Amino acid sequence: MDYNEFFLESKIPESEIERQRYFIKCAAQIVAKKSQEANRKLTYCVTTFGCQMNARDSEKICGILDEMGFVPIEDENADFVLYNTCTVRENANNKVYGRLGYLHSLKKKNPYMMIGLCGCMMQEPDEIETIKNKYKFVDLVFGTHNIFKFAELFTRSLVSDSMIIDIWKDTDQIVEDLPVHRKYPFKSGINIMFGCNNFCSYCIVPYVRGRERSRNPKDIIREIEKLVDDGVVEVMLLGQNVNSYGKNLEDPITFAQLLQEVEKIEGLKRIRFMTSHPKDLSDELIDVMANSNKICKHLHLPLQSGSSKLLKDMNRHYTKEQYLELANKIRNRIPDMAITTDIIVGYPGETEEDFLDTLDVVEQIQYDSAFTFIYSKRTGTPAAKRDDQIPEDVVKDRFDRLLSRVQDISHEKAKAYEGKDVEILVEEVNSHDDSLMTGRMSNNSTVHFPGDKSMIGSIVKVHLNECKGFYYMGELI
Ligand code: SAH
Ligand code: SF4
Ligand code: F3S
């Protein structure tokens, strides 16, 4: 069957958004035809491997697939399976290759099946070579800079027998108003900026996500207003370093100012954001957080290391003392603010003394929770070139010591809330017991309580009966 008849090159509109809408329509016709042939609806499954930004990209892709007439399913035995990859640590990449083998076996049994790969890992030329050579059954490969072209690339892939690969090095284009399929009806991530300019010495993100670009505040507000009209009560503003938001806009605006605008949106109840780089966290932002009724009591403030020597080498632009001062300033001003963090163990050249500095910050700050990572060497980053990489057994020992301290502290912190009455946003039916509902406190902790489905998306008050380590059992009051 020649599906090319469904789109005519001469008819392709010029404006990017119209162009993509045109391809969505073309794909919808092809999908309808294929469904007819197969005598069933065609299905898709999009799997996200990375961070919230990656997840938001997946929602955009799902929105387009929905409009094309595909039906979403959770199972990878689907007619279109897309892996939205992450490459921040080596094990993220390994997972993808492991699972591709399984997809191949499914594809052999389903003549309609197409496999796509996108996301950060695809921005690495070596990975593309591997896919071209060893994973020839993949149909479509694209990167992080041309997601807005998904409709077009997918349509071309629908009518092509060979692998379609389209990777851009960078872009300054931001295409607004493409369809989005939200995972939750009542909460949503919103990109406020893309890319990163910080080049922390260990990190691959700036290489795979490109230079920092802020979205126009008007577009952000308009998007949130539309979401609120559609039932959203909580938004998570997303960027690799939200504190530098707006600096490069034609009419510069600070992140704190943006937050104040978002706060004004009627009907919106909760505002979260990710991630705050300590080097750019302003007093203005602390003021705005302290005076806000909507900004959640949760600040993710990645430490990475407690050693000033390592922090300098990591290109983080703050010292141990500056970090402590900042965290204390926030705690003093907003005592119920939960502070969470990311820590890397085993960065090249890390001595026992450096590690003890990290433990010292952990002791002093008493994080509500912390993500701890073993340093992973990322090709192309400055840290990867160093010859003082730390032996595995030393790293493992430090990692275990850190993790145990971090967990003990977060248990103690969580325990302190036992017996309190708190507001939670009800998110879903408990996955183990359907008489329970699961919700989140302002500080991001999880609470399970007896309730029913009708509460999903509403904010209710619960009494925290018991702390079970990382979560609470509660009851409605
Ligand atoms: N932009 C965010 C971080 C995004 S990546 C920030 O600066 O805070 C999320 C976390 O992954 C980082 O905070 C860091 O702790 C971890 N990470 C990044 N590169 C890593 C690497 N090469 N090895 C181990 N962990 C890494
Ligand atoms: Fe990576 Fe640093 Fe940018 Fe975060 S701020 S994404 S750790 S380079
Ligand atoms: Fe991973 Fe890319 Fe996010 S590398 S952490 S998915 S920005």
Per-residue pLDDT tens over the stretch 89-121: 999 898 999 999 999 999 999 999 999 999 999
List the structure tokens of 355.
Answer: 């590690």
Q: For residue 188, what are the β-bridge partners? A: 235
**Other beta carbons less than 10 A from residue 208's beta carbon:** 24
How far is it, in rounded angstroms, from Cα 83 to Cα 142?
Answer: 11
88 alpha carbon, closest ligand: 3
Residue with CA at minimum distance from ligand 2 atom 2? 200
What mean pLDDT value characterizes the chain?
Answer: 95
Residue with CA at minimum distance from ligand 2 atom 1? 203
Mutate to test the pocket of ligand 3, among 54, 95, 344, 373 (most ligand atoms within 8 A of CB): 54
The pTM of this model reads 0.94
Distance, CA 446 to ligand 3 centroid (Å)? Answer: 24
Distance, CA 275 to ligand 2 centroid (Å)? Answer: 9
| 199 close to ligand 2 (CB < 6 Angstrom) | yes
Cis preceding-peptide flag for 379 (omega within 30 of 0)? no
Atom of ligand 3 nearest to the CA of 121: 4
Atom of ligand 1 nearest to the CA of 276: 8
Distance, CA 342 to ligand 2 centroid (Å)? Answer: 11
pLDDT above 70: residue 206: yes
User: What are the tens digits of pLDDT across the range 61-72?
Assistant: 999 999 999 999
Average pLDDT over residues 405-427: 96
> Chain-centre distance of CA 270, in angstroms?
18
CB 417 within 8 A of CB 445: yes
**Other beta carbons less than 10 A from residue 15's beta carbon:** 10
Q: For residue 235, what are the β-bridge partners? A: 188, 271
pLDDT above 60: residue 1: no
| 240 close to ligand 2 (CB < 6 Angstrom) | yes
User: What are the tens digits of pLDDT across the range 291-313?
Assistant: 999 999 999 999 999 999 999 99
Distances (CA, A) of 464 to 50, 172, 421, 423, 467: 32, 47, 6, 10, 7
| 87 close to ligand 3 (CB < 6 Angstrom) | yes
Average pLDDT over residues 427-448: 96
Residue with CA at minimum distance from ligand 2 atom 4? 240
Average pLDDT over residues 322-336: 97
Average pLDDT over residues 39-59: 96
| 206 close to ligand 2 (CB < 6 Angstrom) | yes
Average pLDDT over residues 130-159: 95
Average pLDDT over residues 337-360: 98
**What pLDDT does 173 receive?**
82
Q: DSSP state, 389?
A: P
How far is it, in rounded angstroms, from Cα 456 to Cα 448?
Answer: 13
User: What are the tens digits of pLDDT across the range 382-414?
Assistant: 999 999 999 999 999 999 999 999 999 999 999
Atom of ligand 2 nearest to the CA of 304: 7
**Other beta carbons less than 10 A from residue 188's beta carbon:** 23
Annotate 70-118 with DSSP letters as a single string. -EE-SSS-SSEEEEEE--SSHHHHHHHHHHHHHHHHHHHH-TT-EEEEE
pLDDT above 60: residue 4: yes
pLDDT above 80: residue 9: no
375 alpha carbon, closest ligand: 1
**What pLDDT does 113 receive?**
97
Distance, CA 344 to ligand 2 centroid (Å)? Answer: 12
pLDDT band (50, 70, 90) for residue 2: low
User: What are the tens digits of pLDDT across the range 461-474?
Assistant: 999 999 998 899 99
pLDDT band (50, 70, 90) for residue 179: confident
User: What are the tens digits of pLDDT across the range 231-263?
Assistant: 999 999 999 999 999 998 999 999 999 999 999
List the structure tokens of 183.
Answer: 């995972």
Average pLDDT over residues 10-18: 87
Ligand 1 site residues (CB inside 6 A) read: 88-89, 202-203, 205, 240-241, 275, 277, 302, 304, 342, 344, 373, 375-376, 378
**What pLDDT does 463 receive?**
98
How far is it, in rounded angstroms, from Cα 179 to Cα 157?
Answer: 20
Q: How many percent of the chain have pLDDT more than 90?
A: 92
Distance, CA 90 to ligand 3 centroid (Å)? Answer: 12
pLDDT above 80: residue 17: yes
Provide the b/e sequence for 335-355 (b: ≥16 CB within 10 Å).
Answer: eebbbbbebbbbbbebeeebb
| 203 close to ligand 3 (CB < 6 Angstrom) | no
Distance, CA 204 to ligand 3 centroid (Å)? Answer: 9
pLDDT band (50, 70, 90) for residue 42: very high
Parallel, antiparallel or unpaired: strands 471-476 and 459-467: antiparallel
**What pLDDT does 88 receive?**
97
